[in-house]
Structure 1
Amino acid sequence: MSGKFQSLIMQAIIGGGLLAGGQMIGHGALADTTINALFMSQAAYSESDVRAMTADFEKANPGIKVNAEFVPYEGLHDKTTLAQGAGSGYDVVLFDVIWPAEFAENKVLVDVTDKITPEMKKGVLPGAWTTVEYKGHRYGMPWILDTKYLFYNTEILKKAGIAHPPKTWAELEKQAEIIKNKKLVEFPIVWSWAQAEAAICDYTTLVAAYGGKFLDESGKPAFQTDGGVDALKYMVETTDKGLTNPHSKEYLEEDVRRVFSSGDAAFALNWTYMYNMANGDPKESKIVGKVGVVPAPGVAGKSEASAVNGSMGLGVTTTSKHPDDAWKYVVFMTSQDVQNKYAKLSLPIWASSYSDPAVTKGQESLVAAAKKSLGIMFPRPTTPTYQQLSTQLQQALHTALLKSASPADALQTAADAAGGGL
């Protein structure tokens, strides 16, 4: 080592210290902790909103930096599990309500049951906790409390002479026929039926309406019977009649939003976030001020309304090197103050928020629909092998929609493939 280089090293040590690995800090100050967080880049909170929330967290916690990464929903699960398998990567991850069973069994998420405070237990809506629970334990905080609603174009319904939005799926079909016959739009209904989880969410909404179930009491497939078959028959029927946009088979939620916001559909099933984007953002929508929203319809004699549990939570990974700081970030992001501030794209998990004018103003009809829908959210199957089951169901839905098999036969094929391995 040269004398000059040795002198520089000594100056660094005297001036501020040298950490293992060569990272220098000055005057005894602690080095910043960086935590990595994984989010999705579609639906619910926008990327800009998440970054704004994160910036506020960093201001309140100057020793912690957050590196936020965004991926499409379709890549969220695999990105999480691949990083976990590598033993590094993310400290905080956004996870779907359908994943706690798998993530708990495979030790992907930290069990935070003991970290949930009495204030959290009392203040969060009871139904929201199901988002992060598995076998009596909690693996994060609920963050996005969401279900799918029926959105409708008020101007189109008025032109069609329709006085009120449909309360049953059969009534929706009749209203769509009236609108189509009057040539107000070519395909009155648009859905997200791409061969992805989006289609399962729409299917689940219909299964709930028709009184179906995914699994029986012994945990074996039951979607190939009764309401499960009726739900898929409805999907096929509305397509055959030309009421459903045929491109729905390739659409995800953002495609649905674009079609509906352009005025090319009278009805759409979608998540909360679409309301304010379609009804209040002229940069994103041609139908600002013409958007109605109600709970998804029911089926006469079986249900008054229907809803799928599409909620998501934030959790700390078991491989996080900074679990306490990661949990601090989760608590901040899910806090009532933060959620109330950003309530235009995702409604809060906190019960008292629904009487706060800052949350309800300008979206009264959405909040009214939420008060009913959030209380009847129907779950997708809770099983560690959900991903495989979902893939089999997606294939069944497309097989029927493409007329390659009847709804009953397509679902039976999926049930046989799932067998008793759930």
Structure 2
Amino acid sequence: MRIRKGIPALIAALGLMATGAACGGGDGSGGGGGNVQLTLLSHYASDPAKSGLDKMIAQWNKENPDIQVKSEVVKFDDLLTTLTVRQTGGRGADIVSAYGLWGGQLEKANVVAKVPDEIAQKIKASYSPAALGAVTTGDTLLGYPTEFNTYALFYNKKILAAAGVSKPPATWAELEDVAKKVVKRDANGNVQVEGLSLIQDGDNKSAHPFLSLLDSAGGTFLGKDGSPQFNNDAGKSALQVEADLAAAKATNPSISPTKQFRSGGVAMAIQAGWWLGSLKTQMKDKYSDVGVAPIPGPTAGSKGSLAYGFFMGVNQRSKHSDEAWKFLSWLNEHQTEGGVTEMGKWLADQGLIPPRAADAATYQKTLTDANFKPIYAAAEYAMPEPNQAGAYEAKTALHNAIMTVLANGKSPDEALAQAAKAVKPQ
């Protein structure tokens, strides 16, 4: 799912939540006749996600009359607020669905419970390394990986071909060369076709493309203790690529790829896999112009990506944690007649990568759209987005520093030093 605008900075609320940990318990309660009523809070407020989850919950409720599950949904932009406010008031849902980036904050505030050892072992043995990394804080697994996305290089075949480029760039030097070849400006110098987009809609903004390039150079974002790891040769060289493109006016941070790519105003963009479903709907017949390739690294054969995910876990204060884990195990493990899990099918039907390795392998064999292949393949090498406490603030600091390079011409060395100083391990 697309990470949209407006994830609120709720550190103060999370602090309140930690201090209010003694207030009440989860709002799951025993129903009539001794039945257990569980609540599941998620952001699946619209179809097809909502109807698919509702269908699975209805099946469980029919087969398990003694453990009934009620779905509660809010818009994604309201999810973190709802999680924190309800928890502070002692009304937290028994089962929570959350963005992996929040994991460290939610763990620190005692929202998510420890995954039972037996279930944790099954999860660790069944899911891809990138999916696990996106929902693991330190050594703590937060729950079952659910939504999962990796980044890749999207390009317009028609625009590249018109500039004499027959294949997507495979190194940073080629990436810069192609971006400079395809850019078009009007008589006043205004960009009509951007070479490579380096800013995204939503809270990820410029950070995710940069982190994908950083990964391709063998770098990493944060250490296990939350300390900055990007202010080094790998980080400086990755940001220098972006600085060179900005200086050559082959990229323009004011241009939105999600709005301009589909109309031919952007030649290349570093974007998450969920975008394919949107492009198919928006571009219709012109979708055949879309190509997807690995994000190139500094040398031939090197490549990088960023993986981010969501998870479902149990509220530490749920009165029915055993029943909640029983339901979650069923939700994520029961299989369809097609040999994949129902959860995997639900995600794949939305154009997302199933995080369970066996599901992804099955779907890879039947992919009819070649554009999905680099996105699936990136799950094997992508840098998981860090999610320890303070990661959200660190990402914001990195974004602010990157924008000083793209918009104001600041040197990569100065910008990354500035960002590193702003990162406060917690």
TM-based fold match above 0.5: yes
Query: Does residue 1:239 correspond to 2:238, yes or no?
Result: no
Deviation per residue, 1:342-394 (Å, 9 max, x gap): 414111122222443597332344135422x1111113445322223223222
Residues 66 and 199 (structure 1 numbering): CA distance in 2 closer, same or farther, change over 3 Å? farther
Deviation per residue, 1:288-308 (Å, 9 max, x gap): 22221122111127x610011
Contact 1:210 1:298 in 2 (8 A): yes
Q: Aligned to 1:411, which of 404, 416, 421?
A: 416
TM-score of the aligned structures, taking structure 2 as reference length: 0.77
SS in 2 for 1:93: strand
CA distance in structure 1 between the aligned counterparts of 2:271 and 2:379, rounded to whole angstroms: 14
Number of residue pairs aligned between Structure 1 and Structure 2: 381
2:398 maps to amino acid: L
What are the ranges of 5 or more consecutive residues in structure 1 without an aligned counterpart? 1-24
Question: Structure 1 residues 190-199 or 159-168, which shifts more?
Answer: 190-199
Q: Aligned to 2:397, which of 392, 397, 406?
A: 392
Residues 121 and 151 (structure 1 numbering): CA distance in 2 closer, same or farther, change over 3 Å? same
CA distance in structure 2 between the aligned counterparts of 1:173 and 1:366, rounded to whole angstroms: 24
TM-score of the aligned structures, taking structure 1 as reference length: 0.78
- Aligned CA RMSD, in angstroms, stands at 3.3
2:399 maps to amino acid: Q
CA distance in structure 1 between the aligned counterparts of 2:243 and 2:55, rounded to whole angstroms: 46
Partner of 1:102: 105
CA distance in structure 1 between the aligned counterparts of 2:153 and 2:344, rounded to whole angstroms: 23
CA distance in structure 2 between the aligned counterparts of 1:392 and 1:198, rounded to whole angstroms: 12
What are the ranges of 5 or more consecutive residues in structure 2 without an aligned counterpart? 1-30, 334-340
CA distance in structure 2 between the aligned counterparts of 1:76 and 1:236, rounded to whole angstroms: 35
Partner of 1:60: 60
Partner of 1:356: 362
Q: CA deviation at 1:275?
A: 1.6
Q: CA deviation at 1:207?
A: 1.5
Query: Does residue 1:268 correspond to 2:269, yes or no?
Result: yes
CA distance in structure 2 between the aligned counterparts of 1:217 and 1:358, rounded to whole angstroms: 32
SS in 2 for 1:311: strand
Partner of 2:132: 129
Partner of 1:226: 233
Contact 2:131 2:309 in 1 (8 A): yes
Contact 1:340 1:359 in 2 (8 A): no
Residues 306 and 135 (structure 1 numbering): CA distance in 2 closer, same or farther, change over 3 Å? closer
Contact 2:129 2:380 in 1 (8 A): no
CA distance in structure 1 between the aligned counterparts of 2:283 and 2:375, rounded to whole angstroms: 23
CA distance in structure 2 between the aligned counterparts of 1:277 and 1:67, rounded to whole angstroms: 26
Partner of 2:302: 304
Contact 1:113 1:139 in 2 (8 A): no
Deviation per residue, 1:25-65 (Å, 9 max, x gap): 9xx76778351412277xxxx74223322223223314534
Query: Does residue 1:347 correspond to 2:353, yes or no?
Result: yes
CA distance in structure 1 between the aligned counterparts of 2:362 and 2:224, rounded to whole angstroms: 41
CA distance in structure 1 between the aligned counterparts of 2:367 and 2:423, rounded to whole angstroms: 46
Residues 120 and 196 (structure 1 numbering): CA distance in 2 closer, same or farther, change over 3 Å? closer
Contact 1:146 1:271 in 2 (8 A): yes
2:355 maps to amino acid: I
Contact 1:96 1:131 in 2 (8 A): no
2:314 maps to amino acid: V
Contact 2:131 2:307 in 1 (8 A): no
SS in 2 for 1:212: coil
Residues 190 and 70 (structure 1 numbering): CA distance in 2 closer, same or farther, change over 3 Å? farther
Contact 1:189 1:268 in 2 (8 A): yes
Residues 407 and 338 (structure 1 numbering): CA distance in 2 closer, same or farther, change over 3 Å? same
Deviation per residue, 1:234-281 (Å, 9 max, x gap): 223323322224324xx5xxxx333222332221221111123313x3
CA distance in structure 2 between the aligned counterparts of 1:363 and 1:203, rounded to whole angstroms: 27
1:408 maps to amino acid: D
1:57 maps to amino acid: I
2:168 maps to amino acid: P
Contact 1:160 1:182 in 2 (8 A): no
Partner of 2:42: 38
Q: Aligned to 1:319, which of 313, 317, 320?
A: 317
Q: CA deviation at 1:414?
A: 2.4
SS in 2 for 1:288: helix
Q: CA deviation at 1:407?
A: 2.5
Q: Percent identity?
A: 24
